[in-house]
Structure 1
Amino acid sequence: MSGIWWFGNVRFDESSGNLQVGSDDVELDRSCQRILGVLLANAGQGVDKDALLRAGWPGRLVHENSLAKAIGRLRIALGEHGERLGSVYGHGYKLDVSAQLVTPEREEGLLATVGAALSDTPGRRPWLAWSAGAAGMAAVGVILSSSESVAGIFGTPYRTADPIVADAPDAIGKILWVDDHPENNAFEKQYFEKRRIAVHSAANTADAIKLLAIYDYKLVISDMGRGDDRLAGLKLVEQMRQRGDATPVVIYTVRADGAKAQSAQRRLVADAGARRLAVTPQEIRSIVVGEFGNPSVR
C-alpha cells in the first residue's frame, strides 16, 4: 500500500515523490524516491544492494556505484536524519528509523488536530500557518512515533539545527580530512579548494564516521596518530571497512626512520585497508588532484 511516510520531522509521499524535512521541500530524483520508499518499507532492517538497484533503476543494468551515489544524495536530503542511513557490511543499506505509513485521510486528521493545538496554545498565534511550519511537521512526527499527546508536545521548544556550511557551488566533489590539528593543513586545503575540491574536516574518528554516513566523499585523508593514539588513522580505516564503507583512504604522516621501519609502516597501512601512504605535501597534493582528474585552477 502506498501512502505517506513519517519519521521525526520528515514526511515522504510515495505517490508524488515529495519529500519534506521540517518546513523545507527537498527535491529528489526518481531513483532516490524509489530507493527511499524501499528503505522506509523495511525501516530498521538491511536491504540488499540488488533489491535497491532494481527499485532505483527498474529494468536497467546499473553499476552499484550509482547506488552508492544515490545513497549519498539521500543522506544529504534527509538532513540530520541522514546519519541514520548506514551501510550493512557485505549486504546493503539500512535506514534505522521508526517510520509510520499513513493514509492521506489519517494525515489530514492529525494535521487538523495539531493546527488546533497550535492556534490555541498561548504565544503560538503566529503559527496559524502551521501546515507549512517546522512545528506542525515535527508534532505530527512525534504523534505518529509515540504515545505523546498534542498538548505535551508543545510544552518543550524544538531544537534547531546548526547552520549548514555549504561547499562552493562549483565544487566538483569533496574529500574528508581527519586531523586533530587542521591548521597544519591550511595550505593544502587552499590548494584543493582553488581546484574546486571541497574539503571537510573532522578532528577525531567519531566525527569522521558521522560525516561519512552523511556525505559521499571521493577520498579520505587521515593522519596516522591523534592525541595519545599512535594508530588512530589505521583504526579509522578498519572501522570504515567493518561498516562496509569502501571510500579510499590515504594515510598522511611523517616518514619513519630507516628502511626497515618504512617498510613496516607501508605494510601496516596496506593491511588496515588504506589505499596509499603519503609523507610529503607534494605527495598528498598529487594523490588528491589525480583522484579528481587533475582539475584546473578556478
Structure 2
Amino acid sequence: MHYCFNAFVLDTQNRTLFCNNQRLHCDERVILLLAQLIDAYPAHCDQACLLEHIWPNTVVSSWSVARLISDTRKLFEAAGLKVPIIQTLHGRGYRLSPDIAAIIRSDAVANSFAAQDIVSDKATSAANTNTLQPAQKKPYFTLPGLVLIAILSSAVFALLFYSQIERNGPLVLAEPHNVKARILWVDDHPENNQAERQFLEQKKIGVYTTKTSSDALTLLSLYSYDAIITDMGRGSDPLAGLKLMQAIRERGINTPIYLYTIMPSEALRQKAQEHGAQDIAVEAEDLYQHLMPLIRYADEGVE
C-alpha cells in the first residue's frame, strides 16, 4: 500500500520510504510503526500494541517504543516535514498526527476522483468525436467593470467591519476572555496537549505555549504566570525539562512547576523535585489534580 503526504511516499508493502523521489534509508521498524498508526487512525496505539506488532516474539525494553517514536520524528524533521508526524496522547499511547491523516485522506480521495475523471473523459471524448464544439462565449464583465466591482466590494466589507467593531466594542487580542489565571506551557509538541489546554481555558485559565527553554525564560522575565508546565525531553536533549527548572529557580522565580511526562518513575519525581518542581504528572487527571487550587480559584474566583 502506498501513502502520500507532502513530498513523502510510504510503501508499506515493500517497506520503503521516499522523499522527493529519493529513498530515505531508515530502520524497517519506522515503516512498521507508521503502517500501524495509519491502520489504527483515528484510534491510538498503546505501548503494548506497538511492541506486539513491531517486536513480535521479542523481549525488549519499554523504552524501545519511545526511542523509535523519537527517531521517527527526527527522521521526518530532518527531511523537511513541517508538521508533526506522530501525536503523543499522555497516559494512552500514540496516534498518527491529524494533519498527516488529513493529507493522506485527501490524497486518496483525489486519486479516486482522478481515476473516475479518466474514465469519464474517455467516454465523453468518444461521444463527441464528430460533434462540433460550441462557439466560445464572450466574458460577461470587462476589465473596468471587474475593477469597479472590486472597489465597491472592498468598501462594503470595510463598512461592515467597522460597524461590527462599533457594536461589539474594541477588539481584544491575545488574551482569552475573562482570564483569572495564567499558565506557561513549555513543550516542543504543543499539539499533544490540545485537550488539556482546552480544558484549562474553559476554567478561565489562559495557557501560553512555547517550544523552547530559552523562549520560556524570556517570557518569564517579561510576564507573570501562576504555574509552569514543562515536558521532559525536547529535541536532542532528554534533560531539557530538568535544566529549565534549574534555570528558573536560579533566577529566583518561585512559580510552581509541574513536569508532564509519559515515562514517570519515583526516581524521576525525586530528581524533578530536586530541580525545583512541585511534582510530576503522566495523565491529564493527575495534572488537573496538581493544578486544582488554581483551577478552583479561577473557576470560583476564590482561593
**TM-score, reference length from structure 2:** 0.42
- With a CA cutoff of 8 Å and minimum separation of 6, indicate the structure with the bigger relative contact order: 1
**TM-score, reference length from structure 1:** 0.43
